[in-house]
């Protein structure tokens, strides 16, 4: 199953545009006595020098994906940042979705290894409680927080947050049922009893109960 990560707004792209143009303007401002033609050549050279880097970052911002398949959550942020964990690694009881500001355990303190632009965060971050987070945030209003039982938790912007959590819970339940022991025939010593499923009425898996 694939879930859509919202496209980033104009913030990161305007920031990258500023990063491209500002260094080009500085030589012109510092060398006012030069001719217009010389200033234009300097600006063009600076833009051509910086443009490949900012163009790559702009393309990187738009390459984000989230998939749930083969019992795993797989996230890609840009060209090089990836996150993959088994469903069993998540504590879905503590999962949250909604506005980023309202999810206290997911608050970010600083960036460890990733990209931080206005309106776009991607990579590995450290939370205010010193927890480790893998983050892909393009929309602060639509965020899902998946706490891990150990290691990096996941904080990601998703268009269908509620549907994602429902799909994860159903998939995790199916994996749990798959791991249940196979029922065995009733032995002669248990005649008059019936087998009940795991956890029913607080009993151990596949306990025997009197009919």
**What is the domain extent for residue 16?**
6-61
Q: Which two tokens stand for residue 116?
A: 């931080």
Tell me how many domains the chain contains.
3
> Are residues 108 and 123 both part of a single domain?
yes
DSSP string covering 95-143, please?
Answer: -EEE-GGG-GGG-EEEEEEEEEETTEEEEEEEETTS-EEEEEES-TTSE
Residues with Cβ < 8 Å from 7, sequence gap 6 or more? 62, 138
Per-residue buried b or exposed e for 136-146, using 16+ beta carbons within 10 Å of the residue's own CB? bbbbeebbbbb
Does the reported pTM lie above 0.95? no
Tens digit of pLDDT per residue, the chain (211 long)? 899 899 988 999 999 988 888 877 776 666 666 676 777 777 787 778 888 888 888 888 988 999 998 889 999 988 888 999 999 899 999 999 999 999 999 999 999 888 899 999 999 999 998 999 999 999 999 999 999 998 999 999 999 899 999 999 888 887 766 655 555 555 555 555 555 554 444 444 444 444 4
Pairing of strands 81-86, 72-77: antiparallel
User: Has residue 114 been placed in a domain?
Assistant: yes
Pairing of strands 132-137, 108-117: unpaired
User: Has residue 1 been placed in a domain?
Assistant: no
User: Has residue 177 been placed in a domain?
Assistant: no
> Are residues 88 and 162 both part of a single domain?
yes
> Are residues 168 and 116 both part of a single domain?
yes
Report the C-alpha gap between 186 and 149 in whole angstroms. 38
């Amino acid at each position: 199953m694939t879930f859509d990560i919202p496209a980033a707004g104009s913030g990161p792209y305007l920031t990258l545009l500023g990063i491209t143009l500002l260094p080009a303007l500085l030589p012109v401002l510092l060398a006012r006595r030069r001719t217009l033609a010389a200033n234009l050549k300097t600006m063009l050279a600076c833009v051509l020098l910086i443009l490949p880097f900012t163009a790559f970052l702009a393309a990187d911002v738009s390459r984000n994906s989230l998939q749930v398949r083969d019992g795993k959550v797989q996230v890609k942020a840009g060209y090089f940042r990836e996150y993959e964990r088994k469903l069993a690694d998540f504590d879905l009881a503590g999962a949250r979705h909604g506005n980023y500001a309202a999810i206290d355990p997911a608050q970010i303190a600083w960036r460890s290894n990733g990209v931080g632009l206005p309106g776009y965060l991607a990579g590995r971050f450290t939370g205010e409680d010193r927890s480790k987070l893998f983050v892909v945030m393009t929309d602060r209003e639509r965020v899902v927080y998946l706490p891990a039982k150990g290691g990096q938790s996941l904080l990601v912007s998703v268009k269908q947050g509620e549907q994602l959590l429902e799909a994860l819970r159903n998939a995790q339940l199916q994996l749990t049922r798959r791991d249940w022991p196979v029922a065995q025939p009733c032995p002669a010593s248990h005649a008059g009893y019936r087998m009940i499923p795991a956890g029913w009425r607080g009993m151990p898996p596949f306990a025997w109960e009197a009919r």
